[in-house]
Amino acid sequence: MYAIFEAKGKQFRAEPEMTLTVPTLDAEPGETVTFEQVLLAGRDDEVIIGRPSLEGASVKTEVVRHGRGPKIVVYKMKRRKGYRRKQGHRQGFTEIRIVDIDFGAGRSVEPPKAEAPKTKPAEPAKAEKPAKASRAEKSVEPAEAESTAEPKAEKPAKAEKPVEPTPELDATDSARELAAEAGIDLATIEGTGKEGRILKSDVQKAIKAQEGS
């Protein structure tokens, strides 16, 4: 058994003996507060919906205590104006305990809605029969297309011959220029850069090694 009621512009779900935190109420701890704006209620397998609220329904609560929420800091600033403002805030609340839920005179809306969809789906079933027949006719066409596609599968084999991977050396522009001046083949140099990239320093090491030999 539960109910959804409105308090201080907010909606809350209430169940017997449940404790809720709502905006601050004008009541002392131990006093009883009744909320009459019940929007929806449910018990067993029945759901009662208000339009907009249930007539005669109410949620009876007892005030447990008053408190304040965690502190938040509000900071304001205006550029080049010398304006600075810092302010703290703690939102107040009231803790209540659900004592009783009165459903009042409400009507369940679910049974009428559940009966309407049962008769409507029977009509689309007639439209499915011609659709199945058209699919059976179309299923013959792919079989013929497969038989004609078999000899055409030999043509892609000819296109595979001209495709040859051309390795490219990854090197910086300065490294290429220095290697061209020194007459060194970049393929003989092992790159120390990222992902084996040949750097200018790698070419300089190769030149020194060539001069030392």
pLDDT at residue 162 tops 70? no
Across 147-174, average pLDDT: 58
d(CA 69, CA 71): 7
* Domains of the chain with bracketed CATH: 2-113 (no CATH), 173-212 (4.10.320.10)
Across 144-153, average pLDDT: 51
Across 64-93, average pLDDT: 95
Across 73-95, average pLDDT: 95
d(CA 196, CA 194): 5
Angle between helices 173-182 and 200-212 in degrees, nearest 10:
20
Query: In 3D, which of 37, 174, 17, 30 has the Cα closest to residue 104?
Result: 37
Of 78-82, 104-108, 112-116, 207-211, least confident by mean pLDDT is 112-116
Quote the pLDDT of residue 103: 86
Tell me the range of 19-28, 49-58, 186-195 where mean pLDDT is highest. 19-28
Tokens of 123: 């009509």
Residues in the chain: 213
For the chain, the average pLDDT equals 78
Across 202-207, average pLDDT: 84
Across 8-16, average pLDDT: 94
pTM of the model: 0.46
d(CA 144, CA 150): 10
Name 48's Cβ contacts closer than 8 Å, sequence gap at least 6.
40, 41, 42, 54, 57, 103, 106, 107, 108, 109
d(CA 17, CA 55): 23
Of 61-70, 71-80, 131-140, least confident by mean pLDDT is 131-140
Quote the pLDDT of residue 128: 56
How sure is the predictor about 38, in pLDDT bands with cuts at 50, 70 and 90?
very high
pLDDT at residue 62 tops 90? yes
d(CA 157, CA 172): 38
Query: In 3D, which of 194, 196, 198 has the Cα closest to residue 179?
Result: 198
Tokens of 124: 């689309």
- Beta carbons of 42 and 87 less than 8 angstroms apart: no
- Beta carbons of 38 and 118 less than 8 angstroms apart: no
Quote the pLDDT of residue 173: 80
pLDDT at residue 109 tops 50? no
pLDDT at residue 37 tops 80? yes
